[in-house]
Amino acid sequence: MKKLTKLTEEEKYVILHKGTEAPYTGKFNDHKEVGIYSCKQCGEELYRSEDKFSSGCGWPSFDDEIPGKVKRIPDADGRRTEIVCHACGGHLGHVFLGEGFTPKNTRHCVNSISLEFTEISKKS
């Protein structure tokens, strides 16, 4: 596993204690740049920008992850499915199926605070 980043108290609340940032407050909710979204805690690459879409839910939404990078864990209440970084176990958010937003019919609802972004330069 990659070296873990020192987290702020707010980041710890979400990533380690499974909290949620307020809707429409995260820096990646309306983010449209081309690149890779990685785990804030360990740097593992999780999502590609081409899989990001606007769902109107207030958090960044992706309809696919980089294969093998995001783990799904049923919540104790059985109603939702948590998603965590496969490498470090950091909380990302929840995944929802069957909503019809995209042809893949999947929405990863991710806290911006759980992510870092690396832009991919456009080739001329």
- Number of structural domains found in the chain: 1
Q: Has 109 been annotated as catalytic?
A: yes
Assess if residue 26 is contained within a domain.
yes
113 and 22 Cβ atoms separated by less than 8 Å: no
Q: Among residues 39, 85, 88, 109, which one is catalytic?
A: 109
Per-residue pLDDT of the chain (124 residues; tens, 9 = 90+): 567 889 999 999 999 999 999 999 999 999 999 999 999 999 999 999 999 999 999 999 999 999 999 999 998 888 899 999 999 999 999 999 999 999 999 999 999 999 999 999 765 4
Q: Is residue 4 part of a domain?
A: no
Determine, yes or no, domain membership for 75: yes
Structure tokens at 37: 């979204």
Domain assignment of residue 69, given as a range: 9-119
pTM of the full structure: 0.93
Give a yes or no: residue 1 inside a domain.
Answer: no
Q: How many Cβ atoms sit within 10 Å of the Cβ of residue 100?
A: 7
For the chain, how far is it from start to end, CA to CA, in angstroms? 35
Residue 45 within any structural domain of the chain = yes
Which CATH number is 67's domain given?
Answer: 2.170.150.20
* Residue 124 placed within a domain: no
2 located within any domain = no
40-49: string of b/e by CB count within 10 Å (b at 16+)?
A: bbbbbebbbb
Q: In what helix (H) or strand (E) does residue 73 lie, and over which residues does it extend?
A: strand 70-74
Q: Would residue 82 count as lying in a domain?
A: yes
